Structure 1
Amino acid sequence: MSWDAWALLAINAMCVAVIVWAAWGFRQESRNSRLLRIALTTGEYLVIPVGPQRGAGWVHRGQHRGWV
């Protein structure tokens, strides 16, 4: 392979690594944080406390007593 191909592979590998690193960081921050931070146009953040998280599709149901 020519040096052009190696350079292109190295650039692609770095781009993929940065994307994966950023996604992992955002995922960890969203799982560990109990605050929702929304960026404002002024450069500041609007901070909103987040309640307890439930799994997708979670529905509260009363105690099941069977058919009457």
Structure 2
Amino acid sequence: MKIVIDESKCVAAGQCVSAAMDVFDQREEDGIVVVLNENPPAELADAVREAAAVCPALAIRIEG
């Protein structure tokens, strides 16, 4: 699993952080998503999928 972010779509809602705080964070200055681990371990896969699903801007894509 690889996480790809489209920062231009991100609206800084923070839903991804709520769903998977071990994988996502937000920049202090503007709230745009930051990926802490582009290739998270398998045990976080469900949380990452949930984060992508709840993103209101569809800024998170999962590959693999």
Give me the TM-score of the superposition, normalised by structure 2. 0.23
Structure with a larger share of its residues in helix: 1
Larger RCO, structures 1/2 (Cα 8 Å, 6+ apart): 2
Which structure has the larger Rg over C-alpha atoms?
1
Give me the TM-score of the superposition, normalised by structure 1. 0.22
